[in-house]
Amino acid sequence: MKKLISLLQDRMEKAFQECGYDNEYGKVINSNRPDLCEFQCDGALAAAKRYKKPPFIIAEEVVEKCKDYKEFEKIEMIKPGFININVSKDLLTNYCNRIMNEEKFGCQMYKNKTVVIDYGGPNIAKPLHVGHLRPAIIGESIKRIHKFFDNNVIGDVHLGDWGLQMGLVIEELKFRHPDWDYFNENFDGEYCKEALFTVTDLEEIYPCANSKTKVSENATEEEKEKANEFKENARTNTAYLQEKKRGYYDLWKKIVEISVKDLKENYKKLNVFFDLWLGESDSQKYVKSMVEKMKDLGILYESNGAMVVDVQEPNDTTQINPCMVLKTGGVSCYQTTDLATIMQRQIDFNPDEIIYVVDKRQELHFIQVFRCARKAEIIDKDAKLIFLGFGTMNGKDGKPFKTRNGGVMRLENLIDEVNRKVYEKMRDSKEYSEEEKVKISKIVGLSALKYADLSNQISKDYIFDIDKFTSFEGKTGPYILYTLVRIKSILNKFYENNTIKENKILNPVEDIERQILLKISKYNQILEESYIENAPSKICTYLYELANIFNSYYQKVKILKEDSERLESNISLLSLLKRIFENGIELLGFEAPEKM
RNA sequence: GUGCUUAUAGCUCAGCAGGAUAGAGCAGUCGCCUCCUAAGCGACCGAUGGGGGUUCGAGUCCCUCUAGGCACACCA
């Protein structure tokens, strides 16, 4: 189904052509002066130079041609050469009625693309913290938007479950529990099935282990020695792990198991679900063949002990270092894993796109990896590798978000805090039971959290102000939910004693009704834009504006007090609005309560 | 040092491909519940970092300055 704006543009292009001008000047855009018109065409201004004619003459000619077209209710030239357009009432109404019968609101679908979305990226050595919030929320929304457009989407959590960090955790566990069977070379029985430690332990163990490898400047030789030894042991553990040494590998599996269980619970709280729970470790089996391939292609060479691939390109404005494929000693590194993962995804899914939702500070790293992957031909040459870098979530002071005492806040705690604030808002309400209040505050809290994040542009840093996001006034998730709940409540009230004969919206009488229809008619346009640009924020803005218009309509029009034909039209309109809001928040990754 | 990026109202953000009077929200001031949920609606107040340039027209494009942020191979 064509966009409403495209229908208007088709006419306008035709008119330009008929007047002897290039049809490219018939571009129609949303009006930036809603007080004057609904759509506008600025083509005459642009065409003036080329045709050496004053723009208002061109505009007048075109407007004259358009007078007979039934698509326009109003079309006029305003000096110096703007063409102002209002869409005809019939076209607008019919268009909305068609949307009502379209499952996907009249979006043109782009089928059969396979898209892998890499988001999440939690480290299994530690619990989720606020830093994991953005990738989870953004990635989930991008995934849902791509699914809506009928793509075959694979969301991969891509666990950080490999490398030195694991060796460090194991070393610390060994230090604390040397008696564990895992470390007993002679043990050949079955390892303990029960969990010997919790996620909370891990939360403390990793930083502890990490700090043991670092020494202050004025440390004694003995202290330095100790730190080095610890680090060496961690390296050895990592090597053991990589060769799947009995005990060490089993302990690692235990860590993964405990951690993943906790991660799943936490992601569930965020309404975030992954299709794949693979990690860095899963790509290791491709490293060898990948390196062989690079050698065969002659692109891999030794540099200062490491194995690297040049990725400099002629148009670069600065020097780009080679991509390190293997560290000194043939050890895997960050790049190795990401490259091997690309190879793995190519083999498993043959994707058209891989989208990386990662911190934007990693951009250079991914430029190197992507280039290297192409040079090494481990990815189909037509496949797109997309880096979707997100900005930092800062606190009110503009610095990276921290707890009050300066620590890293656990994601769980953040969610709890948001929920608590919502709960407080409802605490005194006598309308709801205690149980309902807890349930509603979780749903509303999540909407506050997610909407606050998604309404910002992905690549920008943003200020996370918990008080602002939970104040629920203005452009917030709860405002959207409140509007939807209102609509649902009216519909419920109507359907208590009535049924509807025909689902059809009538021509708008009030100006505010017309505005709603106009907004509705643009939903498909917004969805396509946010899909193509990977920009959930466009949906956020749209829903907010739609809610605004609806709420002022609600204020002006007694929706249920109209006579029968008009009433049915109102109900049809509300049903459509309900669908749009529900679809919109679904794509953003949250849901609405029945009441609030 | 090299490169990337950001700068819009007191605060937090929009601004579509260069178009008309730069939009919101919060904060502040003032109105609206006998009426489908006041987590709502309406009104007022308030802004493009500095300087050049391109253009009929610049928040948007180019240059430059200033101030932040970030990245630059053996941590991931």
- The one-digit pLDDT tens for each residue of chain A (596 residues) are 999 999 999 999 999 999 999 988 999 999 988 889 999 999 999 998 889 889 999 999 999 999 888 999 999 999 889 999 999 999 999 999 999 999 999 998 877 899 999 998 898 887 888 999 999 999 999 999 999 999 999 999 999 998 888 999 999 999 999 999 999 989 999 998 888 888 888 888 988 888 888 877 677 888 888 888 898 899 889 888 888 899 999 999 999 999 999 999 999 999 999 999 999 999 999 999 999 999 999 999 999 999 999 999 988 888 999 999 999 988 888 999 999 999 999 999 999 999 999 999 999 999 999 999 999 999 999 999 999 999 999 988 888 888 877 788 889 999 999 999 999 988 878 889 999 999 999 999 999 999 999 999 999 999 988 888 888 889 999 999 999 999 999 999 999 989 998 899 999 999 999 999 999 999 999 999 999 999 999 999 999 999 999 999 999 999 998 888 899 999 999 999 999 999 999 999 999 999 99
A:547-586 Cβ neighbours of strand B under 7 Å? 547-548, 551-552, 554-555, 557-561
**What is the CA A366 to C1' B72 distance in angstroms?**
13
The CATH topology of domain A114-160+279-390 is Rossmann fold (3.40.50)
**What is the CA A475 to C1' B29 distance in angstroms?**
21
DSSP string, A250-286: HHHHHHHHHHHHHHHHHHHHTT---SB--BGGGGGGG
- Give the Cα separation of A590 and A480 in Å (integer): 11
The CATH topology of domain A411-588 is Isoleucyl-tRNA Synthetase; Domain 1 (1.10.730)
A:252-311 Cβ neighbours of strand B under 7 Å? 280, 303-306, 308
According to DSSP, the residues that pair with A74 across neighbouring strands are A86
Residues A506 and A565 sit within 8 Å (Cβ to Cβ): yes
Nucleotide nearest to A557 (CA to C1'): B36
**What is the CA A10 to C1' B56 distance in angstroms?**
28
Residue ranges per domain, chain A? 4-87, 114-160+279-390, 164-269, 411-588
Q: What is the dihedral of CA A158, A164, A169, A171, to 10 degrees?
A: 150
- Does at least one atom of strand B sit less than 7 Å from the CB of A490? yes
pLDDT the model gives residue A249: 92
- Does at least one atom of strand B sit less than 7 Å from the CB of A528? no
pLDDT the model gives residue A409: 87
**What is the CA A389 to C1' B1 distance in angstroms?**
26
Query: Which ipTM score applies to this complex?
Result: 0.96
Q: Which CATH superfamily is domain A4-87 in?
A: Arginyl tRNA synthetase N-terminal domain (3.30.1360.70)
A:407-436 Cβ neighbours of strand B under 7 Å? 422, 425-426
**What is the CA A374 to C1' B48 distance in angstroms?**
42
Structure tokens at A76: 């006029």
- Does at least one atom of strand B sit less than 7 Å from the CB of A456? yes
- Give the Cα separation of A485 and A63 in Å (integer): 44
- Does at least one atom of strand B sit less than 7 Å from the CB of A337? yes
CB-based contacts of A191, cutoff 8 Å, min separation 6: A181, A182, A247, A250, A251, A254
Residues A581 and A485 sit within 8 Å (Cβ to Cβ): no
Residues A451 and A540 sit within 8 Å (Cβ to Cβ): yes
Residue with smallest Cα–C1' gap to B18: A46
Nucleotide nearest to A490 (CA to C1'): B36
A:365-384 Cβ neighbours of strand B under 7 Å? 365
Structure tokens at A164: 């030195």
pLDDT the model gives residue A396: 87
- Give the Cα separation of A86 and A84 in Å (integer): 7
**What is the CA A477 to C1' B12 distance in angstroms?**
15
CB-based contacts of A539, cutoff 8 Å, min separation 6: A145, A454, A526, A527, A530, A584, A587, A588
Nucleotides on strand B with an atom closer than 7 A to protein CB? Answer: 2-4, 6, 12-17, 19-21, 24-27, 35-37, 39-42, 56-57, 68-76
List the one residue out of A237, A278, A288 whose CA is nearest residue A154: A278
Nucleotide nearest to A459 (CA to C1'): B5
- Does at least one atom of strand B sit less than 7 Å from the CB of A241? no
pLDDT the model gives residue A378: 97
From start to end of A104-195, where are the E strands? Answer: 114-118, 152-156
Nucleotide nearest to A422 (CA to C1'): B39
